[in-house]
Amino acid sequence: MIRGLGTVVVMVAFVGLALWVFNPRRKKDFDEATQLPFADDPEASKHVEQAKASGSKQQ
């Protein structure tokens, strides 16, 4: 009985986490987080800004 309850709790947590991670509204936050390692590098941030500018023109 307790094992079954534990399984259900873990499954609900997994599904909830998967929905949170793959939610389209979170994409902007995750895109910003992927750029954090490059925040201190001026050349990398220049490249990122150029990519953002060219990406916004294409849309």
Predicted TM-score (pTM) of the model is: 0.53
Q: Is the pLDDT of residue 24 over 80?
A: yes
Tell me if 8 sits within 8 A of 14, measured CB to CB: no
Token pair for 10: 């873990």
CA 31 to each of CA 1, 12, 16, 25, 45: distance values in angstroms, whole numbers, following the listed order: 42, 26, 21, 11, 14
pLDDT tens for residues 30-40?
A: 888 988 888 78
* Stronger pLDDT, 55 or 17, i.e. the higher one: 17
* Stronger pLDDT, 54 or 3, i.e. the higher one: 3
Domain locations along the chain: 2-58
